[in-house]
Structure formats: structure tokens, C-alpha cells
């Protein structure tokens, strides 16, 4: 029997994997990629007697591959918090899916394991932009303030590392990062004992310093859109920058459009907690859109759809008087296509 772990390369996927590996110590094959690489099960060739554990990737985008693996005789455990669509009724399929806005995959794994490695779940919650959840879990387990601060920083840097158009954009391949984390029961020991943390910290600081000069491309009350250039640093910061901007203006929906090499845009969307239109529901209007209630995205928005996307976003989330602010696009952000 072979064990497979298919996991998102972000903080939530990594920390969910880390908890299960610490609890179960399996010798497993790892399948992962950049943050937006979620059709991971097409790379899994499991069969009769094999087990596939899926962590933090949407079932909706892996539905056909799930059916294939079950038909081939594999069993599947599925932990996730994204829109899932209809789930299979099959004896080999275990579902631990909860799409509530205040959970992440690592907290589902934490519950599954009875809290045995809860510090990694706290890291994941902070990394996934769920600061209130991370704080609540930290207080539940009685952690000191200085410990909470360190776990929050680790979550931020692990999540930052996952964003890119390809593995070449990242500081670390998520497989290598998972192996670097693996020996550490306590995240604090990883922070203090491994040079990987300092590399992530320094890369984050440098990239976010460049992002500080960005200004909105379009803005109406309730909705702001940013355009980021086709550069590795911009692709790396897109997710954490979106979370940061939302924390600064929690009443403002945000869309960050990062130019990609396919002559289009990768889109990150963040939506205020009280808004009735969920981010994933809005993004699913577009061909490669998906995500969760307050944080979602579109993997590829063609250049020809840019204007219609901006107008749809402003109509959905903005209060749209005649005072639309639209800034010119800096030269480095112009598409070469």
C-alpha cells in the first residue's frame, strides 16, 4: 500500500501536512505546487489498496480525478475549506470539508487529531489571513503573547512563499519546505534552528518594501483594484499584500491583478466579512475562478476581459457614484503582448 499526500503549497496546506505527518509518521509521496496549482490529483496514480490524503485543494477542481482514483481502488481522505460542489457517495471517500468563513484546513486537521499538534494549526490560521481564528486558538491553548507573535510571523512567511506563476518564482519548492519543517514538533524550534526561516523573512521584507509604492489603479467607495507588474516579486506578494490591505481597510473589497506571462492576469480577491456576496461566488463567474468566502481568485483573466472584470467587481462590491478614480498604469506594468 502506498500513501500519497496532495497538498496546497501555502501555509495551510503545509501545516495540515505537518500535523498529519507528525501524528501518523507515514512514508508518503508528496504532490504539490504553487498556490494556484490546485488540480493536483491528475498527478496522482494511486490504485487498489493505496490511500490518498488531500489537503487544502478544492474538490470542485478535482472532481473527475477523485472519481478516477476511487474507481481504481484507492481510498481518499479529503480535508478542505473551499467550495466543493457535489461530493461522491463512495465507501472509499472520507470527507472533512467545512466551507465556513472562520475555518481553515489545518484547523480541520487539528480537530481530527484532537489538538495533538495545535501550534501548527495556529501557524496556518495566521498564514491564511484568519488572524481572529489564530488568536482564538492561541488563547484556547494558553500560549504566551511572544509565542503567538512568532507563530504569526511564521505563518505569514510560509504563505508568502507559495505565491508565484511557477516554482521558479518561489524561494523554496513547497516539497523542500515540507521536508525542512518535518523534523520539528514545535514551530518555534523550526524558527530558531533552521536558516530557511531567515531566507523567507528577508525575502518577504524586500518584496513588501517594493510593494509599498503601489497605488490603486481604480477605486470607488467599497471597492479598490490594484494592478501589479509582471515581475517575480509582484507575483510573490500578491496574496499577503491582499490580506494586509484588507486588514487596513476591512470595509473595502480588494482585487489585485498581477500581470502574468500568458498575456493576462492572475487575480486575488478579498471581501469584507459582512458583505453578502462571497468572494468565491464572485470569482466562479470567471472560467478559472474559485476559492473561499472571503478570499478567492482567478488563475487566468485574459487581457480582453480586464475592463469587464473591473466593472463587474465595482458593480458587485462598490457603491458607484460618478467619482470613479482611475490612475494611469505605470510603464513597468504595461503588458508586452
pLDDT at 331 over 60: no
Arithmetic mean of pLDDT, 101-128: 97
Q: What is the mean pLDDT of the chain?
A: 93
CA proximity to 164, closest of 232, 227, 212: 232
Q: Which pLDDT does position 330 carry in this prediction?
A: 47
Q: Which pLDDT does position 323 carry in this prediction?
A: 46
pLDDT at 26 over 70: yes
3-state secondary structure 233-281: HHHHHHHHHHHHHHHHCCCCEEEEEEECCCCEEEEEEECCCCCCCCHHH
Domains of the chain (ranges, CATH numbers): 3-203 (3.90.1640), 218-333 (3.10.310.40)
Residue 334 binned pLDDT confidence (cut-offs 50, 70, 90)? very low
CA proximity to 160, closest of 191, 186, 137, 128: 128
Of residues 333 and 235, more confidence is placed in 235
Residue 326 binned pLDDT confidence (cut-offs 50, 70, 90)? low
Q: Say which range, 93-107, 205-219, 288-302, 315-329, has the weakest mean pLDDT.
A: 315-329
Amino acid at each position: 500500500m502506498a500513501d500519497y499526500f496532495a497538498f496546497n503549497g501555502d501555509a495551510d496546506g503545509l501545516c495540515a501536512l505537518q500535523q498529519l505527518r507528525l501524528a501518523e509518521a507515514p512514508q508518503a509521496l508528496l504532490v504539490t505546487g504553487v498556490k494556484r496549482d490546485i488540480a493536483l490529483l491528475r498527478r496522482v496514480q494511486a490504485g487498489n489498496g493505496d490511500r490518498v490524503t488531500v489537503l487544502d485543494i478544492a474538490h470542485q477542481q478535482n472532481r473527475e480525478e477523485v472519481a478516477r482514483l476511487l474507481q481504481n481502488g484507492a481510498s481518499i481522505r479529503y480535508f478542505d475549506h473551499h467550495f466543493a460542489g457535489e461530493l461522491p457517495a463512495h465507501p472509499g471517500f472520507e470527507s472533512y470539508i467545512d466551507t465556513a468563513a472562520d475555518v481553515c484546513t489545518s484547523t480541520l486537521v487539528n480537530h481530527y487529531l484532537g489538538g495533538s499538534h495545535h501550534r501548527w494549526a495556529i501557524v496556518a490560521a495566521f498564514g491564511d489571513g484568519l488572524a481572529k481564528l489564530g488568536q482564538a486558538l492561541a488563547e484556547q491553548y494558553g500560549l504566551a503573547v511572544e509565542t503567538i507573535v512568532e507563530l504569526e510571523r511564521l505563518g505569514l512567511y510560509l504563505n508568502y512563499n507559495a505565491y508565484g506563476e511557477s516554482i521558479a518564482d518561489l524561494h523554496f519548492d513547497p516539497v523542500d519546505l515540507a521536508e525542512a519543517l518535518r523534523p520539528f514538533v514545535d514551530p518555534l524550534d523550526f524558527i530558531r534552528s533552521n536558516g530557511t526561516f531567515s531566507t523567507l523573512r528577508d525575502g518577504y521584507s524586500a518584496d513588501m518594501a517594493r510593494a509599498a509604492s503601489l497605488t490603486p489603479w481604480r477605486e470607488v467607495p467599497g471597492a479598490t483594484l490594484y494592478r501589479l507588474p509582471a515581475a517575480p516579486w509582484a507575483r510573490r506578494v500578491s496574496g499577503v499584500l491582499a490580506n494586509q490591505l484588507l486588514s487596513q481597510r476591512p470595509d473595502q473589497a480588494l482585487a489585485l491583478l498581477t500581470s502574468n506571462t500568458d498575456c493576462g492576469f492572475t487575480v486575488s480577491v478579498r471581501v469584507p466579512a459582512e458583505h453578502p456576496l462571497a468572494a468565491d461566488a464572485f470569482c466562479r463567474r470567471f472560467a478559472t475562478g474559485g476559492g473561499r468566502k472571503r478570499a478567492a481568485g482567478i488563475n487566468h483573466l485574459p487581457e480582453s476581459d480586464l475592463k469587464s472584470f473591473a466593472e463587474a467587481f465595482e458593480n458587485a462590491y462598490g457603491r458607484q457614484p460618478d467619482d470613479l478614480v482611475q490612475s494611469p498604469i505605470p510603464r513597468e506594468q504595461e503588458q508586452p503582448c
